[in-house]
């Protein structure tokens, strides 16, 4: 696979990775009294549940022009708020795409863990990381094989209010330094 195609696929994969890490509006359902309540870290995810208008910009290669598209993100709580699922549906250059992501907080490792898949790539991305209280942002990292290289991905999710957030994925591989590959701007849909 040539590097340009690999970069394009990586950018879309990164977008799907953001999808998993980013989650948005409805409150988690009440858990049975006999069950342990979710940690506050789980609540941080479920506050992002809801339906969002998203504007995605992808930079398939460092320094190249960006490709912008609009899509819809639906984030919902799973298993009484222990996890959230995000589904992004849109089209890029006329071709429809779907990304799915599942994110939770692992109380054993004290890290957020996200798994993402996309209709544009047969691979799966698994990221892990933390929430920085001072910076008010999540930062998750992943390493995965793509196009004969090991790719490194760093995803930063910054909620700016209850109705807006930005998720950005940075990629690097081989001797190519890290570049901003995907930016997703989320705006909560009005009910």
**Confidence band of 44 (pLDDT split at 50, 70, 90):** confident
Count Cβ atoms below 10 Å from residue 138 Cβ, excluding itself: 25
Domain ranges in the chain are 3-188
Q: Give dist(CA 16, CA 71) in Å, integer.
A: 12
Count Cβ atoms below 10 Å from residue 140 Cβ, excluding itself: 28
Residue 22 is predicted with a pLDDT of 43
State what percent of residues in the chain have pLDDT above 90.
59
State what percent of residues in the chain have pLDDT above 70.
80
> Quick one: average pLDDT of 134-143?
93
Q: Give dist(CA 86, CA 137) in Å, integer.
A: 18
Are 41 and 23 in contact by the 8 Å Cβ rule? The answer is no
Q: Give dist(CA 147, CA 44) in Å, integer.
A: 35
Q: Give dist(CA 5, CA 60) in Å, integer.
A: 8
Top-tier CATH class for 3-188: mainly beta
Give the tens place of pLDDT for each residue, 67-91. Answer: 999 999 999 999 988 999 999 999 9
User: Which H helix or E strand runs over 3?
Assistant: helix 3-21
Residue 83 is predicted with a pLDDT of 92
Residue 38 is predicted with a pLDDT of 63
23: pLDDT strictly greater than 60: no
Mean of pLDDT over the chain: 82
- State the sign of the Cα–Cα–Cα–Cα dihedral 128, 63, 151, 1: positive
Specify the pTM: 0.79
Q: Give dist(CA 88, CA 186) in Å, integer.
A: 11
Q: Give dist(CA 13, CA 190) in Å, integer.
A: 28
- Provide the 3-class DSSP secondary structure of residue 94: coil
Residue 45 is predicted with a pLDDT of 87
């Amino acid at each position: 696979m040539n590097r340009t195609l690999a970069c394009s696929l990586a950018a879309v994969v990164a977008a799907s990775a953001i999808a998993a890490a980013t989650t948005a509006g409805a409150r988690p359902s009440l858990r049975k009294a006999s069950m342990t309540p979710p940690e506050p870290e789980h609540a941080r995810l479920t506050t992002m549940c809801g339906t969002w208008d998203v504007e995605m910009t992808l930079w398939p290669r460092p320094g190249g022009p960006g490709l912008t598209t609009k899509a819809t993100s639906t984030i919902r709580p799973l298993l009484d708020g222990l996890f959230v699922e995000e589904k992004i549906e849109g089209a890029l250059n006329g071709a429809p795409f779907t990304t799915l992501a599942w994110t939770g907080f692992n109380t054993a490792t004290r890290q957020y863990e996200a798994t993402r898949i996309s209709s544009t790539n047969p691979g799966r991305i698994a990221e892990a990381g933390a929430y920085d209280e001072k910076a008010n942002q999540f930062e998750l990292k992943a390493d995965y094989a793509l196009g004969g290289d090991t790719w490194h991905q760093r995803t930063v999710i910054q909620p700016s209010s209850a109705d807006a957030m930005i998720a950005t994925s940075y990629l690097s591989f081989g001797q190519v330094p890290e570049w901003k590959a995907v930016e997703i701007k989320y705006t909560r849909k009005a009910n």
